[in-house]
Chains A and B, each alone.
Chain A
Amino acid sequence: MPTRALALILCLLPVAALAAGPALTRGLTPVEPRVPAPDFQLADLDGKRLRLSELRGKAVILNFWATWCPPCRKEMPSMERAWRGIRERGEPIVLIAVNVGEDADTVFGFTARMDLSFPILLDERSEVADRYRRLTGIGTMALPTTFVIDPQRRVAYRAVGGREWDDPALLDPVRALLGGTAPPKAARAAARD
Chain B
Amino acid sequence: MRHRVAGALLALLCLPGAAAAGGFAVRSGTDPETGLRWWRWQAAGVSVYLAQRLPDQTRAFFLARGFDRASADRVAAACVLQLEIRNLDAHVVEADLRRWRSIGPDGARSLLLRERWEAEWRAAGLPRAQRIAFRWALFPSRVRYGPGDYNWGMIVLGRPPGARVDLALRLAVDGRPLAPVVPDVECAPDVERLR
Name the CB-closest residue of A to B25. Answer: A18
Residue A160 interfacial (CB < 8 Å):
yes
Q: Across the interface, which residues of A come within 8 angstroms of B10, CB to CB?
A: 4, 7-8, 11
Q: Which 9 residue pairs are nearest across A and B when measured between Cβ atoms?
A: A29-B146, A27-B148, A140-B140, A161-B150, A11-B14, A191-B147, A160-B149, A14-B20, A101-B132
B144 and A137: CB pair below 8 A? yes
A192 and B136: CB pair below 8 A? no
- Say which residue of A4, A22, A23, A136 sits within 8 Å of B144 (CB atoms): A136
On whether A192 and B42 interact (CB within 8 A), knowing A13-B17, A23-B88, the answer reads no
Please list 20 pairs of residues, one from A and one from B, whose beta carbons are closer than 8 Å in the complex, sorted by A's number.
A8-B13, A11-B10, A11-B17, A12-B13, A14-B21, A22-B150, A25-B148, A27-B147, A29-B146, A69-B152, A71-B152, A100-B132, A138-B144, A142-B140, A142-B151, A159-B148, A160-B145, A160-B149, A161-B86, A191-B147
Residue A104 interfacial (CB < 8 Å):
no
| Interface residue SS majority, chain B | mixed
Name the CB-closest residue of B to A13. Answer: B17
Residue B128 interfacial (CB < 8 Å):
yes
Other A-B contacts than A4-B6, A27-B148, A161-B151, 7 sampled, CB-CB below 8 A, are A11-B10, A11-B18, A22-B150, A23-B88, A25-B149, A27-B146, A27-B149
Interface size on A, residues (CB 8 A): 46
Residue B143 interfacial (CB < 8 Å):
yes
Residue A68 interfacial (CB < 8 Å):
yes
A140 and B141: CB pair below 8 A? yes
B61 and A68: CB pair below 8 A? yes
A residues with CB within 8 A of B: 4, 7-8, 11-15, 17-18, 22-23, 25-29, 66, 68-71, 100-102, 124-126, 129, 136-143, 158-163, 188, 191-192
Query: What is the bound-complex CA distance between A71 and B25, given in angstroms?
Result: 25
Query: What is the bound-complex CA distance between A18 and B42, given in angstroms?
Result: 7
Interface size on B, residues (CB 8 A): 41
Q: Looking at the assembled complex, report how far the CB atom of A132 sits from the nearest CB atom of chain B, in whole angstroms.
A: 13
Q: Looking at the assembled complex, report how far the CB atom of A46 sits from the nearest CB atom of chain B, in whole angstroms.
A: 22
Q: Looking at the assembled complex, report how far the CB atom of B134 sits from the nearest CB atom of chain A, in whole angstroms.
A: 9
Q: Looking at the assembled complex, report how far the CB atom of A26 sits from the nearest CB atom of chain B, in whole angstroms.
A: 6
Query: What is the bound-complex CA distance between A120 and B139, given in angstroms?
Result: 24
Query: What is the bound-complex CA distance between A23 and B149, given in angstroms?
Result: 11
On whether A191 and B148 interact (CB within 8 A), knowing A8-B13, A18-B20, A101-B132, the answer reads yes
Query: What is the bound-complex CA distance between A126 and B130, given in angstroms?
Result: 12
Residue B142 interfacial (CB < 8 Å):
yes
